Structure 1
Amino acid sequence: CGVDSHTQDADYVKAGGLLPMFETKLGRVKRLVGTGAPTDDGRLLKMSKSLNNAILLSDSADAIKKKVMGMYTDPNRLKATDPGTIENNPLWEFHDTFNPDKRWVEETKDRYRAGMVGDVECKKKLIEVLVDLLGPMQKRRAEYEADPQHVLNVLRDGAERASAVAEDTLKQVKEAMKQIY
């Protein structure tokens, strides 16, 4: 197109570039750990259905409770008054990721390290957080499952609109490459 490919995105389009430069989208979590214990070398495994260490978006409140209550924590903590370790502890990875009350998380981490709060209290809070987070998604999912025709209509409409945009873009690409035929 005669435009330097190293030009910044907005400048690239303004200068006649057809397709904008891609923009990398990354979440705030590098990877979600599973509910199980770390490996022998201390690594927490990623969440995986096949490893049976996943909390699924479709899990009921009871399933979430069962999984969180069975979640691996600090193995050296035999009672709530024993100081706990935050590192390599899925309970705290989950709180850091999903609990919107960051102040509660930091204060409770301090209490956990000092042996002033037990795993059960922290797990109950996590259950509450996850159920509150997943509830609206599960409600929407149930609505879509109850009306599959609506889902098909949305997909069909989106495909038609995307096709029109893609056709126009392809025409512009061919013009830019001087391959109109």
Structure 2
Amino acid sequence: MTHIVLTGDRPTGPLHLGHYVGSLRNRLLLQAQYRQFVMIADTQALTDNMGQLARVHRSVLEVALDYLAVGLDPARSTLFIQSQVPELAELAFYLLNLVSVARLERNPTVKEEIRLRGFERDLPAGFLAYPVSQAADIAAFRATLVPVGADQQPMIEQTNELVRRFNAATGSAALVSEHGRLPGIDGSGKMSKSQGNALNLGADADEIRAAVQRMYTDPGHLRVADPGRVEGNVVFAYLDAFDPDTAAVAELKDHYRRGGLGDMVLKRRLEAILQETLAPIRARRAEHAADPAEVMRLLAAGSAQARETAAKTLDAVRGALGLRYF
């Protein structure tokens, strides 16, 4: 089956290792196999960032730089800005009429995000309607494969539910990263820009070293000779995600559990791997950052291509709704 892939990120700051493990690595593989649309979701970012417009605007370029730095190729992936494809907003408005407020409030992902942000009833309507916007994006490009984190699967289910109600099922499926969420370097939940526990893709050598040194291990592992816990140990989580020698990592885990393996040995190994991984990304990012006008030109071209595709879907939707008057 030839898939159409839709994926993207909200521009609220530079991307970090969590994005790399959770989706960016998958996108590099997918762009070699399928037609892929990669969206900088600035419209969706406004649902909880209306008071930080400058941050969103600035981050559009930051996210684009990270895309190019990791190897997303505009010749193979259509990179575009959501707000520059107004057909998506119109399609979302039509889909809003197929879902109740109660159904949106039951969406587990939305419920959790509302809790984390402390919105309670002071909730922007646009944020509550986030799943509908996402459904419109997926339907507009007739995407059949949507790389997401495990926590986003309810969004895909709701997309298919909405589209089925419109009698034009796309059969979209979620592609979940095998590594799932990458924990923050402090061990407190997932890596997040807002929590200050992230390591950005453009981090320099000193920042990488400092981040690894801060990483949470096992507080009960006080002496090298002591047995240590692998579960919940952030360093091992990162080794699982980045170390290509899985057999060596398995042996390190066994050794750590038995005792006799110090945290600094693990951290030195991890730092070397991250330095090697991020050095070429950092170099490519700096190269593209030297010509921001060219980056924006690439986004403009990609947005025009995306709009052409979305317009065809919207035209079919208008026809189905009887909204072609002229």
| Match of residue 99, structure 1, among 243, 250, 274 | 243
User: Which amino acid in 2 is paired with 1:55?
Assistant: L
Cα distance in 2 between the residues matched to 1:160 and 1:76: 56
Name the structure 2 match of 1:179: 323
CA contact (8 A) 1:85 1:113 kept: yes
Higher helix share: 2
Q: Please state whether the residue corresponding to 2:173 is helix, strand or coil.
A: coil
Question: In angstroms, what is the RMSD of aligned CA positions?
Answer: 2.1
Cα distance in 2 between the residues matched to 1:72 and 1:109: 16
Cα distance in 2 between the residues matched to 1:168 and 1:52: 42
Name the structure 2 match of 1:6: none
Name the structure 1 match of 2:171: 21
**Larger RCO (CA within 8 A; separation ≥ 6):** 2
Name the structure 2 match of 1:151: 295
Q: Please state whether the residue corresponding to 1:31 is helix, strand or coil.
A: coil
Name the structure 2 match of 1:14: none
Deviation sequence 1:18-70 (CA, Å, 0-9, x none): 56232223222332212225xxxxxx422234433222222111111112123
Give the deviation of 1:135 after TM superposition.
2.2
Cα distance in 1 between the residues matched to 2:241 and 2:275: 14
The within-5 A match list for 1:31-110 is: 31-37=181-187, 44-110=188-254
User: Which amino acid in 2 is paired with 1:111?
Assistant: H
Deviation sequence 1:96-149 (CA, Å, 0-9, x none): 122221111101111111123211111111111212222232222112201111
Cα distance in 1 between the residues matched to 2:264 and 2:270: 10
Report the TM-score when normalising by structure 2.
Answer: 0.45
CA contact (8 A) 1:98 1:129 kept: yes
Cα distance in 1 between the residues matched to 2:312 and 2:227: 63
Q: Please state whether the residue corresponding to 2:216 is helix, strand or coil.
A: coil
Cα distance in 2 between the residues matched to 1:19 and 1:156: 30
User: Which amino acid in 1 is paired with 2:276?
Assistant: D
Deviation sequence 1:137-180 (CA, Å, 0-9, x none): 22221122011111111011111111211222222223344433
1:18/1:59 CA distance change after superposition, 3 Å: same
Higher strand share: 2
User: Which amino acid in 1 is paired with 2:179?
Assistant: V
Count of residues in correspondence between the two structures: 160
Name the structure 2 match of 1:119: 263
Cα distance in 2 between the residues matched to 1:152 and 1:53: 29
Question: Which segment drifts farther, 98-107 or 135-144?
Answer: 135-144
Cα distance in 1 between the residues matched to 2:191 and 2:296: 31
Cα distance in 2 between the residues matched to 1:169 and 1:45: 39
Q: Please state whether the residue corresponding to 2:175 is helix, strand or coil.
A: coil
Report the TM-score when normalising by structure 1.
Answer: 0.78
Q: Percent identity?
A: 38
Cα distance in 2 between the residues matched to 1:34 and 1:152: 31
